Chains A and B, each alone.
Chain A
Amino acid sequence: MSAAGRSIVIPHLGRVEGHGGIFVKVVGGRVHEVNMDIFEGSRYYEALLKGKHFLDVQGVITRVCAICSAGHTVAALAALENALGIGSSPRVFKMRGLLTLGATIESHALHVFALALPDFLGFDSVIAMAEKYPREVTFALKLKQLGNRIQELIGGRAVHPVNTLVGGFGKLPRHRDLEEIRAALAAAQGPLAGFVELAASIEVPDFAARPTVFVALRPHEEGYRFRGSTLCTSRGEEFPVAEYRDVVREFTVEHSHAKHAALASGETYMVGSLARLALWGDRLVGQAREAFQRLFPRGVEENVLTNTWAQLVELVHCLERGQQVCEELLGLPEEEREMQDYRVRAGRGVGAIEVPRGTLIHEYSFDDDGIIESANVITPTAQNLANTERDLRAAVERLLASDVGSESILKLKLEMVARAYDPCISCSVHVTCL
């Protein structure tokens, strides 16, 4: 190795205007620098919202991302309704919960089966995987479509919901549609159980394992849930979401277009499925509990590469929980719409929700006329970035020490670490590269 050192560059994680990717600098056999950059669009959307009416927030903020649009919607509505001092009716709360489950099914199905599993099984892509696993690849797309169908039914559209409003819903689902969704969720359980067995047969490498602080919302009720009002860490701390600015410190770094985040203590942390399982996995029931025990026989370990398996456990949970929520909604009388009256007043509100990639926080303040004065969105990917760099550093050090082989193998393994976080690299755009 030269005195100037060696650079390992993976430029293809980002997609817009060429920026994004992983950069590693090794000098004298030691890892000198590890940077990861992404295009993270939510910052720009905060600026777009200033001066608009709070009723316009949803139509804009859902376009931060295609696959996270439902999560942004639910988090934004929670924040806006907190600012207005209104709560959700039981039906509205359940419907938003079902919307979140649909979004999680869609997102996890895509990541687990199309983006991560090919890495573990040694395929270039989900298409290449189809030669050996045709039924699995077909089922994965159907599972993703089921997530879309749920979002379409509740949100009014498969992407960028329009039916979700401050105070309620413009249109409520018919009972026969809920029954259809409940049946589809039940029908997916069997094939998904087969995937759990397939995953259990795969050994997950530990080259990126290192001590990690996990952060997730405390579920709002007993059970494994994706909404709550306090943030918990795996060190036993707990904070009200409304005080997130005292807990989560966002900061800029020279090498990244996205903000990074750390706890007030300066420690980096991880949010997402693995964090949720680490904190609340003991609340899982039914087949999800069985899947958790099957895939994590020694409990959750501090190894981000197992995050994909945590997502698989959550997929099983979402299928079961989705059926329960449908059942609960079917127990309510069929109505056309449900909207709560409210009075516009100045206010500030924070809303948080567990989305597929982790804790998503929205904060808005508006004046007496409802005009947005400030907006702040902290995405899970931004929270995970600093931790991702620490994991990448640990991985590079171990892989170089163990003589991993060619540089292409080293790069693939580093990509696996980044991919394990399921980073949201701005799917707010769709550009085809030719």
Chain B
Amino acid sequence: MLIVGLGNPLMGDDGVGHAVVERLCRLLPQHHGVRAEYGDTDALRLPALWHGEEEVWLVDAVCSGALPGTIHRLDHEALLAAPQRHHHAHRLSLPESLRWIALGVTEMASVRYRFWGIEVHEVAPGEGLSPPVAAAAEYVASEIADRLA
């Protein structure tokens, strides 16, 4: 099992993926057979973090218009079927990155993903999470740890 927290801890609530990984590193015993890694801001670097795990769980900041701190949970099919919502001149969205990885890294084609997204309040330079996002990060970390217990 590989757990990856995406985002930048120097950009406010964008650091929520890192915050969850940080908490998981404290919650999860070493012998669990689970690795929790910081994924930073490029999902296409996932293959560099992957060591043959069958499942990869991803945690990222989300922007959907819901209340800050809202937790979105997507299973494998829902995540990969998510439409390309970032028509972006410089980088691909998470779903599109995962679809490209499945095509380009044949060993990863059978990887099953699960996604936790936490609705952000403010993405701006600075360290630390806003209160609702910090609370959601605690909740998601506990939820993941419980699932793995």
Q: In whole Å, how far is B87's beta carbon from the nearest beta carbon of chain A?
A: 4
In contact, B61 and A415 (Cβ under 8 angstroms): no
In contact, A148 and B41 (Cβ under 8 angstroms): no
In contact, A60 and B6 (Cβ under 8 angstroms): no
Stretch at the interface among A73-81, A133-141, A328-336: A133-141
A34-89 interface with B by 8 A CB criterion: 41, 44-45, 47-48, 60, 63, 66-67
Number of interface residues of B (CB under 8 A): 50
Contacts of B120 in A (CB 8 A): 431
In contact, B84 and A434 (Cβ under 8 angstroms): no
Q: In whole Å, how far is A56's beta carbon from the nearest beta carbon of chain B?
A: 12
In contact, A425 and B48 (Cβ under 8 angstroms): no
In contact, B86 and A15 (Cβ under 8 angstroms): yes
Task: State in angstroms the CA–CA spacing of A423 and B100 once bound together.
Answer: 22
Contacts of B17 in A (CB 8 A): 430
> Contacts A110-B91, A127-B103, A429-B14; is A158 near B64 (CB within 8 Å)?
no
Q: Which residue of B lies closest to A140 (CB)?
A: B104
In contact, A114 and B92 (Cβ under 8 angstroms): yes
B77-95 interface with A by 8 A CB criterion: 82, 84-95
In contact, B60 and A142 (Cβ under 8 angstroms): no
In contact, B11 and A428 (Cβ under 8 angstroms): yes
In contact, B82 and A434 (Cβ under 8 angstroms): yes
B34-81 interface with A by 8 A CB criterion: 39-45, 47-48, 60-64, 72
In contact, B42 and A67 (Cβ under 8 angstroms): yes
Q: Which residue of B lies closest to A144 (CB)?
A: B44
In contact, B89 and A418 (Cβ under 8 angstroms): yes
In contact, B44 and A434 (Cβ under 8 angstroms): no
In contact, A159 and B45 (Cβ under 8 angstroms): yes
Other A-B pairs, 20, CB within 8 Å; known A67-B91, A418-B89, A425-B90:
A12-B87, A66-B41, A67-B90, A115-B90, A127-B100, A130-B103, A138-B103, A142-B104, A148-B45, A159-B45, A425-B89, A427-B90, A427-B91, A429-B7, A429-B8, A430-B7, A430-B43, A431-B61, A432-B117, A433-B62
Chain A residues near B (Cβ < 8 Å): 12-13, 15-17, 41, 44-45, 47-48, 60, 63, 66-67, 110-111, 114-115, 124-127, 130, 134, 137-138, 140-142, 144-145, 148-149, 152, 158-160, 415, 418-419, 422-425, 427-434
A-B contact pairs, 26 of them (CB 8 A): A12-B87, A13-B89, A44-B125, A47-B125, A48-B126, A63-B8, A63-B10, A63-B11, A66-B40, A114-B92, A114-B100, A127-B99, A138-B104, A144-B44, A148-B48, A149-B48, A159-B40, A425-B88, A430-B40, A431-B14, A431-B61, A432-B6, A432-B60, A432-B85, A433-B93, A434-B117
